Every structure is written in C-alpha cells, then in structure tokens.
C-alpha cells in the first residue's frame, strides 16, 4: 500500500479551491462583455451606442450649402455670431428636404435676448420694451443686418 | 450497477471542461467581430476616441442668459420635461452691502428658474440695490479625475479616452451613487429609463464633426469647444486661450475639470 501524495483533508481543500476559482473563471468568461477592457474598465461598445443617436440640429454649415448669400450678409453685421437655428428653430428636416419649411421666426426671438435685465453684460444691447416701441421689431430692424434700417 | 471511472476518462473529461473554459472568451470575441461586420450601427464610422481630446471653454463675460443652450440641449438629447438638465444657466445677483455694515458686498442670491430655459424673470431686488449680477452656464465639468466614475459600482460611468465622461445605459443599475458623488450637480436620474444621465458633449454630434448643440446655438459665443489634438491654426479655442486667464470650478476638490471658465466671480461655486 503506497502513501497518498497529500493527506485527504488537504486534497479536499485544494479541490474545493480549484472548484471555486474555476467557477469564477467560467462565470467571468460568460458575463464579461467582449469589449469590456477595450479602452478601460468599461464596455467599449457603449461609445458607439451613445454615438448612434441621430443629431437634431442641422448646424450652420448645412444652411451654408444653399443659403450662403444670407450667411454672407449675416457675417458682416452684429448678428454674425448667431446660429440660423437659434431663431429659425430646428431645421434638420428642412436641410434634408427643402420642401419642408422651417418655423417662421417672430419678434419674440428678439426679446428673448434683447430685453433689459441687470444680469446681462453691460456691452450687450438691451431695451426696456415699454419705453422703446410697442410695434414689431422688424418695422425698424432687419434681423439679418440689425445695424441697418429697412 | 455503478459506472466505472478510470483515470483515462476522468482526465479526458477534465481536459474537455478546461478547453471549454479557455475557448469561451475567444468565441465571444469572434461573435463580437461578426456582429460588428453584419449589424449596422447609426454611429459615425471611423471615429477613434484615442485620436481626440475635447475641451469646453466658457467665456462668462459673454453669457446673456437667453437660455437657448438649455432648450437646445433638451431638444437634441431628448431630455425629459421637468427639472432635468444636462446644461443649465444660473443667475447670480450680488446685492450692495446693508447700510452701516462693514462688508464689501451682500450675500449672493442664486437662482435658475427651470434651468433658465425660458429666460429669467425680473430680479427679486430693485436695480439700485444690486451691486453686480451675471449669468453662469453650467454643465458636466468633464473631470480628469471624476468622482462619479470612482463611485459607480458596476463600471457604467466611465471616462472615454477622448475626455468625455459618459454613462453606459445598458450597464447602469440606477443606484444614483454617481449623482451624489458629482460635486457640480450635473447628473440626474432619468425618470423614464431610470438610469443616470448627464452631458455627453453631444457625443453623437462631435463624432460626426458637428459642434455640441449648446455651442452651435449660443448666440453670444460664450461657449467655445474644440479638439486639442486636432486644433486648426485660427481656432476660436486658441484665440480664447491667448486672450483670457482661465479657472475651473471647485479647484480645491482636485477633480481637474476640463471645462474652463473665463471671467468668473469669486462667488461662483
């Protein structure tokens, strides 16, 4: 009769440890997504999933493709920093299909920025509406060239 | 009758199990590659997150508090109605000190009605009592050392190699630890999906070469956005750096934000 390599209680302990470590490795192989360590401790595929959303705003560059004449006029005056969609609204549908017209801009858009408020910076042109004029802004101001009068 | 287990069959079974365990990750990787080829994604092709380094700058002298950025952000990202904002505007009103007190200025009043989305009402003080008033646009500060990422127990919040701090909605369990951890209050629990949400720098736009919606729509050029790794020579970001002295919010926390502010008041927190 030969002596066993390890005492039986130690062998049982070793087998148990191996079983625990083994089941952990199996669970890990099953549960870890394939792209998990691609860039770090997160799922690399999440970047692409987040980027898959469709943009809503078309952007000034898209407007420039057809309306470069208006954008050139705009660039010479005080409203050169404005994005088209700031006043005309979301225009992606219009950029994809010119037959769908964007929302018509109204005078409310002027007041949104130009109504007097003590928190606005002092360099910024502001009016107190009741002291200024009660009619339409566009009677005296051209929205694309605010420093000129019609 | 008891089945006979001899050494050969036992070893063969053990070997089979081991081979199975070892082959699993390989099989999963192969599946991922196949999926990438056959399942089309709407995401921009060829965007390499390691080839960019995004930076947001805010010129606070220019913010006019129109709230267009807040509205654009909600539209662009489908943020639910109500008090949920990925970017918002705060109004700071610093009153004159009370007559007879030895303070240089009164205690600052801060408000942000509906995130500033529909503009701001008349200030709560008459104009002659206001020492100084201004707006501050706020958003995720894109920390280089983000507390939200440390707090997330499941690896759902992470900092992408291009500097954007993002949430993986498939992994988020909605525990809201990250919302507590963020010192800038720029996270919220989406009431519809029940997952944490935050500014993604409009990741779907910047990967397509567009500007984030708030930068695109800002009429005063108060938000300047760019890619430090691919900076064209006359980029507004470079001009901004040349002209201004910048600071970050809550520097003492050591979060190292990548949103740089110019023209901030000491009251801003």
Q: What is the ipTM of this complex?
A: 0.84
Domain count, chain B: 2
Residue A12, C-beta contacts closer than 8 angstroms, at least 6 positions apart: none
Residue B5 lies in a domain: no
Q: Both B207 and B180 in a single domain?
A: no
**Which residues does chain B have within 8 Å of residue A81's beta carbon, measured at their own beta carbons?**
219-221
**What are the backbone angles phi and psi of residue A66, rounded to the nearest 5°?**
-110, -35
Q: Which residue of B has its CA nearest to A46?
A: B168
Residues A56-108 pLDDT 10s? 999 899 999 999 999 999 999 999 999 988 888 888 888 888 888 877 766 56
Q: Both B229 and B132 in a single domain?
A: yes
Collapsing DSSP states into helix, strand and coil, what is residue A105? Answer: coil
**What are the backbone angles phi and psi of residue B189, rounded to the nearest 5°?**
-95, 120
- Do the chains contact at B200 and A54, CB–CB below 8 Å? no
For residue B22, is pLDDT > 80?
A: no
- Do the chains contact at B220 and A52, CB–CB below 8 Å? no
Residue B35 lies in a domain: no
Q: Both B59 and B190 in a single domain?
A: no
pLDDT confidence of B89, banded at 50, 70, 90? very high
DSSP string computed for A24-42: HHHHHHHHS-TTTTSSSSS
Question: What is residue A7's DSSP assignment?
Answer: -
Residues A122-140 pLDDT 10s? 999 999 988 998 888 888 8
Q: Both B169 and B203 in a single domain?
A: no
Residue B8 lies in a domain: no
Residue B124 lies in a domain: yes
Q: Both B105 and B208 in a single domain?
A: yes
**pTM score, whole prediction:** 0.85
- Do the chains contact at B160 and A34, CB–CB below 8 Å? no
* pLDDT over 90 percentage in chain A: 43
Q: Both B236 and B175 in a single domain?
A: no
Residue B138's domain is classified under what CATH number? 3.30.70.20
pLDDT at B40: 67
Residue B249 lies in a domain: yes
pLDDT at B95: 93
Q: Both B134 and B165 in a single domain?
A: no
pLDDT at A106: 62
Q: Which of B175, B197, B219 is the last residue of a domain?
A: B197
Q: Both B171 and B236 in a single domain?
A: no
Answer for the pair B140, B184: CB distance below 8 angstroms, yes or no: yes
Q: Both B211 and B256 in a single domain?
A: yes
Q: Both B79 and B96 in a single domain?
A: yes
Q: What is the mean pLDDT of residues A49-55?
A: 93
Collapsing DSSP states into helix, strand and coil, what is residue B13? Answer: helix
- Residue bearing tokens 């956005």: B225
Q: Both B177 and B245 in a single domain?
A: no
Give the best residue of B203, B208, B225, B236 to mutate against chain A (max A CB count within 10 A).
B203
Q: Both B75 and B136 in a single domain?
A: yes
Residue B41 lies in a domain: no
- Domain hosting B183: range is 147-197
* pLDDT over 70 percentage in chain A: 97
Of A42, A85, A118, the CB nearest to B155: A42
């Amino acid at each position: 009769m030969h002596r066993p390599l390890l005492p039986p209680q130690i062998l049982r302990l070793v087998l148990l440890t191996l079983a625990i470590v083994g089941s952990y490795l199996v669970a890990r192989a099953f549960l870890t997504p394939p792209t998990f360590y691609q860039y770090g401790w997160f799922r690399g595929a999440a970047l692409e999933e987040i980027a898959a959303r469709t943009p809503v705003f078309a952007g000034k560059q898209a407007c420039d493709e057809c309306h470069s004449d208006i954008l050139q006029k705009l660039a010479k005056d005080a409203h050169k920093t404005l994005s088209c969609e700031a006043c005309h609204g979301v225009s992606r549908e219009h950029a994809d299909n010119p037959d769908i017209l964007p929302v018509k801009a109204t005078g409310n858009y002027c007041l949104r920025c130009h109504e007097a408020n003590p928190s606005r910076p002092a360099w910024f042109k502001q009016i107190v509406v009741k002291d200024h004029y009660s009619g339409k802004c566009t009677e005296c101001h051209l929205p694309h060239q605010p420093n000129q009068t019609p | 009758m008891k089945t006979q287990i001899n050494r050969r069959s036992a070893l063969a079974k053990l070997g089979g199990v081991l081979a199975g365990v070892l082959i699993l990750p390989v099989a999963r990787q192969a599946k991922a590659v196949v999926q990438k080829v056959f399942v089309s994604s709407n995401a921009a092709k060829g965007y390499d997150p390691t080839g960019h380094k995004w930076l947001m700058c805010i010129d606070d002298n220019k913010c006019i508090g129109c709230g267009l950025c807040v509205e654009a952000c909600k539209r662009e990202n489908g943020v639910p109605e109500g008090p949920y904002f990925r970017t918002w505007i705060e109004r700071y009103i610093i009153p004159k000190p009370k007559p007879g007190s030895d303070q240089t200025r009164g205690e600052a009043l801060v408000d942000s009605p509906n995130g500033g989305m529909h503009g701001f009402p008349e200030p709560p003080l008459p104009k002659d009592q206001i020492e100084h008033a201004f707006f501050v646009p706020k958003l995720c500060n894109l920390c280089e050392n983000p507390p939200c990422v440390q707090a997330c127990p499941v690896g759902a919040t992470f900092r992408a190699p291009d500097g954007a701090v993002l949430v993986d909605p498939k992994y988020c369990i909605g525990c809201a630890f990250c919302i507590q951890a963020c010192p800038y209050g720029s996270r919220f629990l989406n009431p519809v999906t029940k997952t944490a949400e935050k500014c993604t720098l409009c990741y779907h736009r910047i990967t397509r070469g567009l500007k984030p919606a708030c930068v695109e729509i800002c009429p005063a050029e108060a938000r300047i956005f760019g890619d430090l790794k691919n900076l064209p020579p006359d980029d507004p970001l470079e001009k901004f750096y040349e002209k201004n002295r910048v600071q970050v919010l809550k520097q003492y926390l050591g979060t190292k934000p990548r949103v740089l502010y110019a023209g901030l008041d000491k009251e801003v927190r």
